[in-house]
Structure 1
Amino acid sequence: MKKTVFYLMIGLLTPLLAACGSDEAPVLVDLSANKRGSFTDARDANTYHYVSVGGLDWMTDNLRYDTGDDNTRSIYATQELPGDNGTTTNARTVARYGYLYSYEGALTAAPAGWRLPTDEDWKRLETALGMTRKQADGDLWRGNGQAEVLNSATGLNLLYAGFHDKNSTSFAQHFFFMGAVGYYWTATSPAEGLALFRKIRYNSGQVYRHTTKTNNMLSVRCVRDAN
């Protein structure tokens, strides 16, 4: 009886162990030899770098264009400095992390010739980095190591800028997870008030895919068709 119970427990645990292992045996793709370049936004003279992956040019910097309205946020409360009126804090955080945008702001903030990547654009990137199509089509945490490439200096350099929660009922600050989690919009909205996004976190090689409310404020990376 004891042996039967033991074997049964092993059988039940095997799929769980395999699932955990998928994040511990990453498939890493080196993008250091991929075509690279830079682009200067004529609107504000911000310069962005890009790398070509899967037939698309992906910016390797978070977007720093200010839409000039409530669709852009630049105050990161977790970075407030004693005696600072916000100017220094904003300059430091925006220079590194870019702005956070609502979905509407993300759709309109891209420079000429660039666009907010669709969900399919993200899947195209993820499969180019070794994710299977079945994984790419999945929801929540997917893949095995793609986030490490996305976050590495030789890859897309996705940053952990956190996000601004516009739906929180807390009276405290609404900025969360800066330095730990990165949230990025897609241009794909499956239902009114919702849009798909991607998320990576500092301690995982997987990439998260799900929907969030369009009034939340996330980071933006832009893409264009590679020449």
Structure 2
Amino acid sequence: MLDVVWRHLCAVAILTVSVVSHNYAAEFKDYRDGRVYRVIPSGNLNWFKHSLRYGKTAFFTDENGIPFYRDDSWATSCPEGSQLPDEMDWEQLIEDSFSGPDKVQNMKNFVGNSSLGFYKFEFDEVVNAKKGYAYFAVRNQGNRAMRLETKRGVAKIVDLENSDAVQIRCVYPRDYLSEMGISKTDMIYTDKRDNKKYKVGMRGGKIWMMKNLAFSVTSEKQCYVDDKSFCEKFGRYYTYEDALKACPTGWHLPDDAEWRDFQKDRKTLDWDNLGQGGCQDWDNFCDGANSGHYWSKTSVKEKTARSWEFNRADKDIERTDASVHKGLYVRCVAD
């Protein structure tokens, strides 16, 4: 899984990204003709929001300027850095967008201003448009195409003649770091709520903050031995209730499964980073020199939640059930 995520993070794509208040917007520029496509995310991919309009490989262009492509040009039509979606990619899009109560409207939004129907060479015209059908190419399917029924929100792969032509939507791997507002040069995430900066990295196939969260959710003292300087060094303590809502948008408190993945390769753990700062136990504090205690989202006993203790002296990890009123640290993991 880790290798897969890194491939997506490092994929080569010509991409312009802007991140505003955690709202991700991306564009893909086709340098063959200078056309820019807005994109929408689904699964591990970004999809062109509109049908491809590269005319040189098109077989037919309708009165709306929408090109239709025959299957002998499908593989060469998407610009470099992108490709045709295969059947599994379409299935993921259908699950994400066309399976809920808003599937009809979502499908109409996806089709957008694209023409309906497909070009029938035998008739020299676009057919099936009045039925509300839109047809798109599918990688490795020969002359089979994905048919979207915009009146019912239903998707289905159908057989076409080799000479028939359909529209093309291109896809390319998502850039998760850019989506999270993370600088690739230094792997730093800035929390827009207070402008604090956090080093991030990959653990267990996910993006983690490599520093304890220091965002203040209450006016109470949240620092080791009530010294503000330790909040800068170790981060802040949180009760379980506060921990659940402490991470910024796009991040969350890890559950036990995510913590297990995080600590699997113990030789690569930063014990000096993880194993300090202790915890707050009512008016007392745990060993701040050799231990760090962290909340898990998982709770199996009433008024308790799972706690993960990292001991840097012994390079040992202990999982316990801690009172929800204790003060522990928070490490956020990307959604």
TM norm structure 2: 0.42
Residue 207 of structure 1: how far off its partner (Å)? 1.1
* Superposed CA offset, 1:178-202 (max 9, x none): 1121101100011220111111113
Q: Is the CA contact 1:194–1:212 (under 8 Å) kept in the aligned structure 2?
A: yes
Letter in 2 for 1:73: Q
Residue in structure 2 matched with residue 37 of structure 1 by the alignment: 187
Q: Does 1:199 align with 2:303?
A: no
Structure 1 residue matching 2:207: 3-state secondary structure:
strand
Give the one of 178, 195, 198 matched to 1:48. 198
- Separation in 2, partners of 1:94, 1:159: 15
Q: Is the CA contact 1:97–1:159 (under 8 Å) kept in the aligned structure 2?
A: no
Give the one of 247, 252, 255 matched to 1:110. 247
Structure 1 residue matching 2:306: 3-state secondary structure:
strand
Q: Does 1:95 align with 2:245?
A: no
Structure with larger RCO (C-alpha < 8 A, sep 6+): 1
Residue 152 of structure 1: how far off its partner (Å)? 4.4
Letter in 2 for 1:93: F
Which stretches in structure 2 are left out of the alignment for 5+ residues? Answer: 1-183
Residue in structure 2 matched with residue 74 of structure 1 by the alignment: 223
- Separation in 2, partners of 1:102, 1:48: 21
Residue in structure 2 matched with residue 122 of structure 1 by the alignment: 259
Structure 1 residue matching 2:315: 3-state secondary structure:
coil
Correspondences of 1:140-219 after superposition (within 5 Å):
146=266, 149-152=268-271, 157-166=273-282, 173-219=283-329
Q: How many percent identity over aligned positions? A: 30
- Separation in 1, partners of 2:334, 2:224: 29
Residue in structure 1 matched with residue 211 of structure 2 by the alignment: 61
Structure 1 residue matching 2:251: 3-state secondary structure:
coil
* Superposed CA offset, 1:153-208 (max 9, x none): 7xxx3141111112xxxxxx512211121101100011220111111113212211
Structure 1 residue matching 2:263: 3-state secondary structure:
helix
Residue 101 of structure 1: how far off its partner (Å)? 0.6
**Structure (1 or 2) with the larger CA radius of gyration:** 2
The Cα RMSD (Å) is 2.2
Q: Is the CA contact 1:162–1:182 (under 8 Å) kept in the aligned structure 2?
A: yes
Between structures 1 and 2, the one with greater helix share: 1
Q: Cα gap change, 1:176/1:205 in structure 2, threshold over 3 Å: closer, same or farther? A: closer
Letter in 1 for 2:294: Y
Q: Is the CA contact 1:197–1:211 (under 8 Å) kept in the aligned structure 2?
A: yes
Structure 2 residue matching 1:177: 3-state secondary structure:
coil
